[in-house]
Amino acid sequence: FDVMATKPCTKFSSIYFQVVIWRAVASIAWSVLLLPVTTAVFVLLSRFSLFHPIQWISVLIMLILIWKFTSRVILYALYDCLFISLFVFPLVVPSIPCSRMALLGTVLHPRQCVHSLVYCTMGMLVMWCASVTIGGRYSTLGTPCRQSESGEVVTCLNEYHLFLLLAGAFMGYSHSFLGVVQNMYYVSFQPIQQYKYPRFKGCLPMVLKCSVIQSLYSARNFAALYFFFGYVPKTWISSTLNLQIDSSLQPLDSLTGLLDFSLLYHLSISGAFLYLTWYLTVLLFRIYVTEAYSFPVQSTFTEDAEQCLPKVLAEKNTLVMKFLALQDLALLSQHSLSRRLEVFNLSQPGGHPHNWNAISGECLSLLSELTQRLVAHQDAVASNGRVKSQSASSDTRSASSSSSVLTAPFTPDVDSPFSSPAIRRLVGQQDPHSPWSGTVQSPHIMRRGPKLWSASTVSSSVAGEKGSSRFSVIPLHGLETPVNSCSCHTLNCSAQVKSFLAKRVLIMYLFNKLPEASSQALFADSQAHIWALQGLSHLVAASFSEDQFGVVQTTLPNILSCLVVLLEAVDRHFKLPHASSKPVRTLCSMGDSTYKTLRFALRAALKTAIYKITTTFGEHLNAVNISTEHRKRLQQFLEFKE
Amino acid sequence: MCSLGVFPAPVTAAQTLFERNNELLSALHPGEHSQACDLPSPQFTRDTLKGHSRPESSSRSVFLDQRDTLWMRSAGAWRDAGLYGLLDEITNSAEEVPRFLAVGSACVLALLRWASSFHGSLFPHLTLSSDEMVAEFSQMLDWSDSALRSFAWHPHTDKFAVALLDDSIKIYKSNSSPTPTLKHRCQRSVCALQWKPLCGSALAVACQSCLLIWHVDPASLSTRPSSGCAQVLSHPGHSPITSIAWSPTGSLLVSASPVDTSMMVWDVAAESAVPLQRVGGGGVTYLSWSPDGSRLLAATPSALFRVWETRMWTCERWPCLKGSCQSACWSPDGGCLLLSMQGERVIYALTFSDLTGINNTYSSPVTACQLLLILKGFSSLSALLNISVGGEVCSLSWDPRGERLAVLLKGRADNHPSVIAVFKTRSSPVFELLPCGFVMGEAGAEPRFMQFHPHFQHGALLTVCWSDGRISHVPFYFSSAGLLGGDSPQQALASNTTNPSSNKLYTEQIS
């Protein structure tokens, strides 16, 4: 890191390294340090025998004394490095697929495939270690056995060992798969601040429960899978490694072979151990990344200016830093008088309120960007509903009208990926960093975006906005292909193909939009907006008594009108279908589903923010220069009618 | 130390109307008329309200008994009563199951019962049933017998919510607009109500099995909002809920149950909860958030209470001398906490030295817990009626300006009723408590619950729920002697509004 820090142009990256990388390293270090503990517990449970307690304990002590696990610790360290290197950018914004096809695309994405492969290998490695640790009949792949007819000793395939190895691979894949489906790598911030150790202690029972339940589910699924397809890897391994199959033992891919209590116990115990190590890493990573970081509001030295709050707030590339800065802003506005005074301060030569201007400007641009996004979405939905009455271009009309005939007005166009084979090949390509760049494509392409799937009439203008906005919603499959101008004939053909495909149930199933997914995708990064609202409202309320120079009151009309406009946009959004339906709560999973309710949290935070300002200023708001409509809305808040 | 004898005793036992010129005036006082304020004061009698007669599980007795197979019965027992029920069912049907199973389940059951009785001997409140527990830890005196179950003023407007015996909630406003009645399937045994601060519509309700958040649109004219307006928040093992507290900024809601050792910090809009667990004490019974939002009191059923600071959510343990913490109230600036213990006639004061903000380091604000006041002795109210008052302190309430403190003293038997004693308080330059008088109800009515109006213009307004189902308001008219120290925005606002000419917005001055 020293090398990075000494370069003059990498001031920002130095603070990024200080914060994010350092935290990632610390979380890995802790999860590696915790491994001996979990391994000891695992050994204790795997060697458990009810009738020989003395033997059990002595074996345990021996094992711990020999420190057989050192090699394993190194292995885990390697694997943890792999884990973090894949996710060195913590996902603070979840990726929300809008249809099942998009989800399929994400799962089959090459990056995800590599990830699954890595996890399969790691799962097999851990299971190999586990089977060696358990010992007994599980220890090696080949066992000496006596052939029945000739009586000579040959090496046979140990099916128990193979069973555990394959189970490890299966669990690795299912972990990787569920990580995508349940958004396990999405890091959500807690509503309250806690120190790391109490938080870890509080989460530990949940992690234990989740890993045990997940392991039981996986064990069940794997047993079923092995029952049906177990002979394939068995014959393959035995033929490639030239191992005999011991015919005297009961084969495991039969009902009686699988109903072995000790086998299933060891399978679920090692599965729980496997999941626990992974979940602990995820948990520690989350705890470390979401810990609040206190940025200086202003610095005395100009070379440190890049690390100050206003500069980090304006950060575009790394969302983590921006989120941490916004969290810090929300905290300082509520808890720290001295730092609030620094925000309200004037610059020493010149007397300009640079700090306040930068902070409030950044928050306001965030909020107005959300307003624009919501308005664009509403326009898109509205234009989809009444597209026939508009004089749109010919291809737009045909596409949308056919879809609206077939399906409800708010379902997407079912078959646009089939309009050319090129598109079909590109399903699943993901490019989060340049979502809307490139030339403006046809409405077919725009329709694939998470929210603008039917934005035929406003697509080009919105695309321009999105490209310039710093907080782009991550699209799930940015299809980009040149579509040439199509004639009437091809249009007719495509309409026929469309109606043909729309009748197929599977295709409808894959391409139908998931309900409320577009709404979730719109508010995917709303934690940032919530903090901006909290920070702004508390700073403005505090300025009533703490702001000595009146720097806040010059921007008060802007802030109020921005909040009211956003409130109107949010209110309109909640009138759309599926927007106000509550998601089903999952009881026990490591995946974080808080992103599903962020839109409700944003609405509540917005109203609270306006109330905070109106109750503090009271009748003085009449002296603020805002438009009559906004004043009317604010009057509602003054009378507590909202 | 203070004797109740120094209180100015009312000459008659008639209803107290208001305070003026440092004197509590009653209805029989010559030349005074009834209610001076236009707030609704409804009355509810037990006869008109019908509680639910029997719990749901007892409807079994209505139907004919039918023998199911063992599997069906076991599944039903598991669903209804969990592990206990399953073991009980297996033990009871010993002739149908293998012998070792029946014996084994009987042994496990005995072991479990022994363990739970041991646990119950450590924390006696765990042996209570759910309803008894709510009655024990509710702030409403004599909860199970009362027609009124809970009461809450809205923090910003003139409206209040009342929970009734029949598990409905009514909302009253100052003007004669319709009074909405809230009913919900899950709304059973309401123990506490609180309106969300900085919001016009949200009301949190602590029920027996869950937490309900009603969103009652203030502009709506409907008298029966549908149950779709309510959010149900529940967490396994976290019921019955006996206390709830919104943070003063309205962003978080904390709920507590005497059964659960962890209290839940809810992000209500996102419907997610963060459990904060501390094992000692065996549960949390009462929560109170300081008005400045920096601290939260959590009382346990044992002789222990905690004060959490709400920035990093760490807590200080305060083991009490004897008895659990019964009730508490914060001073308006959040610097002082008054506590009453169960079975004691004493009010303790806990002062916090640091007020938030000056520096970022949160040093431990440990201060002495001092004995503030011993309410000793009895005062005979009226020689003619031969009534004497005085007893255990069971509820405390401090008005938002910090000038009046109401103390609800529990009665014992006949001719010894519960009574509200009111003190005048002042916090600067030194803390002072001066007796003001007793608040009396109509003949035969005892106070059950009291709460100060959060923003009464002309002094303080105490709302009292009486044992005869009446809700009455007692205004205390006084001019503020000087505000308490501290610089919370509300107080700054108040000081601004008192002298509007000198303190204007900068934009006003420019234009």
Between B274, B277, B506, which is nearest A553 by CB? B506
Between A534, A600, A618, which is nearest B270 by CB? A600
pLDDT at residue B375 is higher than 70: no
pLDDT at residue B242 is higher than 70: yes
Residue A224: partners with Cβ closer than 8 Å, 6 or more residues away: none
Restricting to B residues 202-241, those with a Cβ less than 8 Å away from any Cβ of A are: 218-219
Output B171 or B11, whichever has higher pLDDT.
Answer: B171
Q: What is the largest CA-CA distance in chain A?
A: 104
Please tell me the least confidently modeled range out of A551-555, B288-292, B351-355: B351-355
Per-residue pLDDT band at B384 (split at 50, 70, 90): very low
Label the pairing between strands B314-319 and B159-164.
unpaired
Determine the Cα–Cα distance for residues B88 and A235; give it in Å rounded to an integer: 50
pLDDT at residue A468 is higher than 50: no
Q: Is B174 on the interface with A (CB under 8 A)?
A: no
Please tell me the least confidently modeled range out of A584-588, B91-95, B411-415: A584-588
Contact residues, chain A, for B198 at CB < 8 Å: 608, 611-612, 615
Determine the Cα–Cα distance for residues B393 and B373; give it in Å rounded to an integer: 11
pLDDT at residue A71 is higher than 70: no
Restricting to B residues 177-206, those with a Cβ less than 8 Å away from any Cβ of A are: 198-201
pLDDT digits (tens, 9 = 90+) for A337-367: 999 999 998 887 788 899 999 999 999 999 9
**Tokens at A240, concatenated:** 């490639």
Label the pairing between strands B346-351 and B369-376.
antiparallel
Q: From start to end of B37-179, where are the E strands?
A: 148-153, 159-164, 169-173
Q: Is B356 on the interface with A (CB under 8 A)?
A: yes
Determine the Cα–Cα distance for residues A625 and A557; give it in Å rounded to an integer: 6
Query: What number is the average pLDDT over the span B90-117?
Result: 86
Within-domain flag for B509: no
CA B344 to chain centre: 19
Residue B348: partners with Cβ closer than 8 Å, 6 or more residues away: B338, B339, B340, B341, B369, B370, B371, B372
In B, minimum Cα distance to A331 occurs at B311
Q: In what order do the strands lie in the sheet with B459-466?
A: B23-26, B16-20, B471-477, B459-466, B447-452
Confidence (pLDDT) at A167: 95
Between A192, A339, A620, which is nearest B505 by CB? A620
pLDDT digits (tens, 9 = 90+) for B405-445: 999 988 877 677 888 989 898 877 778 888 888 888 888 88
Other beta carbons within 10 Å of B186: 16
pLDDT digits (tens, 9 = 90+) for B440-491: 888 888 899 999 999 998 889 999 999 989 999 999 998 876 544 434 444 4
Determine the Cα–Cα distance for residues B26 and B12; give it in Å rounded to an integer: 8
Please, what is the angle between helix A628-638 and helix A551-573, to 10°?
Answer: 90
Within-domain flag for B125: yes
Contact residues, chain A, for B265 at CB < 8 Å: 191-192
Query: What number is the average pLDDT over the span A309-334?
Result: 90
Q: Is A556 on the interface with B (CB under 8 A)?
A: yes
pLDDT at residue A605 is higher than 90: yes
Confidence (pLDDT) at B246: 96
In B, minimum Cα distance to A601 occurs at B269
**How does DSSP assign A222-236, residue by residue?**
HHHHHHHHTHHHHHH
Label the pairing between strands B2-3 and B369-376.
parallel
Contact residues, chain A, for B504 at CB < 8 Å: 620, 623
Within-domain flag for B288: no
Residue B80: partners with Cβ closer than 8 Å, 6 or more residues away: B57
Within-domain flag for B127: yes
Q: Is the peptide bond before B365 cis (omega within 30 degrees of 0)?
A: no
Q: Give the residue numbers spanning the domain of B104.
A: 69-132
pLDDT digits (tens, 9 = 90+) for B392-401: 888 999 999 9
Amino acid at B58: S
Contact residues, chain B, for A193 at CB < 8 Å: 311-313
Percentage of chain A exceeding pLDDT 90: 30
Output A418 or B24, whichever has higher pLDDT.
Answer: B24
How far away is chain B from the Cα of A582, in angstroms, using its nearest Cα? Answer: 10
How far away is chain B from the Cα of A106, in angstroms, using its nearest Cα? Answer: 26
Query: Number of residue pairs across A and B with CB atoms under 8 Å?
Result: 124
Most B CBs within 10 A among A188, A189, A192, A633, hence the mutation to make, goes to A192
Q: ipTM of this model?
A: 0.86
Residue A212: partners with Cβ closer than 8 Å, 6 or more residues away: A268, A272
Cβ pair A356, A51 in contact under 8 A: no
Within-domain flag for B328: no
pLDDT at residue A477 is higher than 90: no
Query: What number is the average pLDDT over the span B349-372?
Result: 53
Determine the Cα–Cα distance for residues B448 and A358; give it in Å rounded to an integer: 54
**Tokens at A272, concatenated:** 């729980």
Q: Is B95 on the interface with A (CB under 8 A)?
A: no
Within-domain flag for B473: no
**How does DSSP assign A535-577, residue by residue?**
HHHHHHHHHHHH-SS-HHHHHHHHHHHHHHHHHHHHHHHTTST
Per-residue pLDDT band at A99 (split at 50, 70, 90): confident
Contact residues, chain A, for B218 at CB < 8 Å: 640-642
Output B102 or A417, whichever has higher pLDDT.
Answer: B102
Contact residues, chain B, for A617 at CB < 8 Å: 505
In chain B, the N- to C-terminal Cα span, in Å, equals 57
In B, minimum Cα distance to A552 occurs at B506
Cβ pair B57, B50 in contact under 8 A: no
Contact A604 B268 (CB under 8 A): yes
Cβ pair B408, B391 in contact under 8 A: no
Q: From start to end of B344-431, where are the E strands?
A: 346-351, 369-376, 379-382, 387-389, 393-398, 404-409, 419-426
Give the torsion sign (CA, A335, A336, A337, A342): negative
Percentage of chain A exceeding pLDDT 70: 74
Within-domain flag for B116: yes
Q: What is the mean pLDDT of chain A?
A: 76
Please, what is the angle between helix A261-289 and helix A196-229, to 10°?
Answer: 140
Please tell me the least confidently modeled range out of A426-440, B320-334, B380-394: A426-440
pLDDT at residue B237 is higher than 80: yes
Cβ pair A591, A585 in contact under 8 A: no
**Tokens at A633, concatenated:** 């809305």
Contact residues, chain A, for B485 at CB < 8 Å: none
Per-residue pLDDT band at B115 (split at 50, 70, 90): confident
Contact residues, chain A, for B358 at CB < 8 Å: 337-338
Confidence (pLDDT) at A428: 36
Cβ pair B259, B283 in contact under 8 A: yes
Contact residues, chain B, for A334 at CB < 8 Å: 249, 293
pLDDT at residue B168 is higher than 90: yes
pLDDT at residue A625 is higher than 80: yes
Cβ pair B278, B306 in contact under 8 A: yes
How far away is chain A from the Cα of B286, in angstroms, using its nearest Cα? Answer: 20
Confidence (pLDDT) at B230: 93
In A, minimum Cα distance to B252 occurs at A191
Contact B267 A198 (CB under 8 A): no
Most B CBs within 10 A among A529, A531, A585, A620, hence the mutation to make, goes to A620
Closest CA to A372 of A530, A523, A556, A566: A566
pLDDT at residue A374 is higher than 90: yes
Q: Is A512 on the interface with B (CB under 8 A)?
A: no
Q: What is the mean pLDDT of chain B?
A: 80
Determine the Cα–Cα distance for residues B420 and B10; give it in Å rounded to an integer: 13
Taking the CA of residue A155 as centre, how many other CA atoms within 13 Å lie in the half-sphere pointing to its CB? 8
Determine the Cα–Cα distance for residues B233 and B213; give it in Å rounded to an integer: 8
pLDDT at residue A323 is higher than 60: yes
Contact B198 A553 (CB under 8 A): no
Query: What number is the average pLDDT over the span A30-45?
Result: 79
List own/partner pairs for A248-255 with CB under 8 A and 24 or more apart. Answer: A248/A145, A248/A148, A249/A159, A251/A159, A252/A159, A252/A160, A252/A163, A252/A226, A253/A226, A253/A227, A253/A228, A254/A227, A255/A227
**Tokens at B102, concatenated:** 């029946």
Label the pairing between strands B419-426 and B404-409.
antiparallel
Per-residue pLDDT band at A229 (split at 50, 70, 90): very high
Within-domain flag for B385: no
Residue B474: partners with Cβ closer than 8 Å, 6 or more residues away: B16, B17, B18, B19, B439, B461, B462, B463, B464
pLDDT at residue B130 is higher than 60: yes
Most confident range (mean pLDDT) of A75-84, A96-105, A289-298, A591-600 is: A289-298
Most A CBs within 10 A among B210, B221, B231, B251, hence the mutation to make, goes to B251
Q: Is A202 on the interface with B (CB under 8 A)?
A: yes
Q: Is B325 left (phi over 0), alpha (psi -120 to 50) or beta?
A: beta
Amino acid at A268: S
Confidence (pLDDT) at A84: 55
- The backbone torsions φ and ψ at residue A311, rounded to the nearest 5 degrees and listed phi first, read -70, -40
Contact A194 B312 (CB under 8 A): yes
Contact B312 A620 (CB under 8 A): no
Please tell me the least confidently modeled range out of A386-395, B33-42, B67-76: A386-395
Give the torsion sign (CA, B317, B320, B323, B326): negative
pLDDT at residue A10 is higher than 90: no
Confidence (pLDDT) at A372: 96
- The DSSP secondary-structure symbol of B309 reads E
pLDDT at residue A57 is higher than 60: yes
Query: What number is the average pLDDT over the span A202-223?
Result: 93
Per-residue pLDDT band at B175 (split at 50, 70, 90): confident
Confidence (pLDDT) at A489: 66
- The backbone torsions φ and ψ at residue A177, rounded to the nearest 5 degrees and listed phi first, read -65, -45
Contact residues, chain A, for B173 at CB < 8 Å: none
How far away is chain A from the Cα of B115, in angstroms, using its nearest Cα? Answer: 22
Determine the Cα–Cα distance for residues B15 and B472; give it in Å rounded to an integer: 10
In A, minimum Cα distance to B486 occurs at A545
How many domains would you assign to chain B? 1
**How does DSSP assign A254-309, residue by residue?**
SHHHH--HHHHHHHHHHHHHHHHHHHHHHHHHHHHHTS-----S--SSGGGGGGSH
Confidence (pLDDT) at B65: 66
